[in-house]
Amino acid sequence: MSNSVSGKTHALGQTPTEWTEWCRDEGLSGFRVDQIIKAIFSERIQSFDNATTLPKELRIKLDRDFFLRSFVSNKKQVSIDGSVKFLNKMQDHKSVESVFMPWHEENPDRPVRTTLCISSQVGCAVDCAFCATGKMGFGRNMTAGEIVEQVIVAEELLGEKVTNLVFMGMGEPLLNHNAVFKAIEIFTQDYATIVYPKKITVSTSGIMKNISRLAQLPKYVKLAISLHATTNGMRDRIMPINRKSPISDLMQTVEDYYRVTKLPVTYEYIPFDGLNDTYEDAKRLAKIAKRVPSRVNIIPFNDISFTNPTGYAAKLKPTPMHRILEFAGEVRAEGGVVTVRDTFGSDIDAACGQLALSDRTVDSHTLS
């Protein structure tokens, strides 16, 4: 899928440099770049006719060359915990999901931060045993405009500002690194910042060469490693990508990333009953976590039985919560920093690992 529909280009997928080049080609003054970007990303116009800060002739040119929205429909599912899952259908009728998660502390009516978990691919080729998305297979890469549009549409439909952004939805972000890196540039642009760089996290199963490329971006973002095992034998079984990026090599790449960015790393770890939740695993996990400043997010295994898993995936069972808490304590006792993650949206198949276009829809909206 290209960034073009009917000969027009997705305006949400344009970087400041690309807007500068377009304005130059149209014989426009440089200050128009700032005006165009602010109209699109600050004023959130849905039609170029609404860009009243721009002269009519310029609005006509913009409408000639660009479109502002590519999603043709949107379905919204609301969880009992307040999280919201969006099913976004794109121009080619392929769909992706994103999940909005409000984090509350003292005031239950006012979230202290809001996180949107966004997708980067239709489906996924990595095929981790615990992840529903992998059971779909790989459809296609998303464009930068489609990636950015997930945030714009979520904020429009909810009336909420997204403060944190995580590339942890459908797909492996670093297998679509060109579009993901371009989207990060757009999210963090100086003209109209959507999300600040240190509020963005890219989660990867271990695409090492593109972790290195991520460290070369002008604005550093946080890195999360989908780890889930402390030995190559176990990780090979639950994450086939480990055969190309074994733990020792991956950890060296993580160290290199930290050396450049100086940003703490997150390790994501799902305990499976009797497989990767032993005391020895806890010791090895703490050792890994201490190689650079980092945090381990322990995530309860969420049900993916609705995908009818087969093979090794069918053998995975969740570690009981009491053992998860013990395991977390063992990692801490060995010097690791650990958080046991809350589960958001499991009642609507929106929790970690569950995104696979299941549809228990409570609200539907057709986008203009």
Is 352 labeled as catalytic in the residue annotation?
Answer: yes
CA torsion through residues 317, 340, 166, 294, sign? negative
Out of 124, 128, 131, 352, the active site residue is 352
Out of 23, 97, 149, 268, the active site residue is 97
- What's the N-to-C CA distance of the chain in angstroms? 20
Token pair, residue 286, equals 């703490």
Is 97 labeled as catalytic in the residue annotation?
Answer: yes
Q: Do residues 121 and 171 make contact, with C-beta atoms less than 8 angstroms apart? A: yes
**What are the C-alpha distances in Å from 234 to residues 196, 206, 267?**
36, 15, 16
Checking DSSP bridges between strand 200-204 and strand 164-167, what pairing results, if any? parallel
76 DSSP β-pair partners: 86, 363
Please enumerate in sequence order all residues whose Cβ is within 8 A of that of 23, keeping only pairs 6 or more positions apart, or say none: 29, 30, 32, 33, 36
Rounded Cα gap, residues 130 and 313, in angstroms: 6
Rounded Cα gap, residues 354 and 85, in angstroms: 11
**What are the C-alpha distances in Å from 86 to residues 96, 214, 255, 271, 361?**
8, 27, 35, 27, 10
User: Can you state the angle between helices 279-289 and 321-333, rounded to 10 degrees?
Assistant: 50
The catalytic residue positions are 97, 352
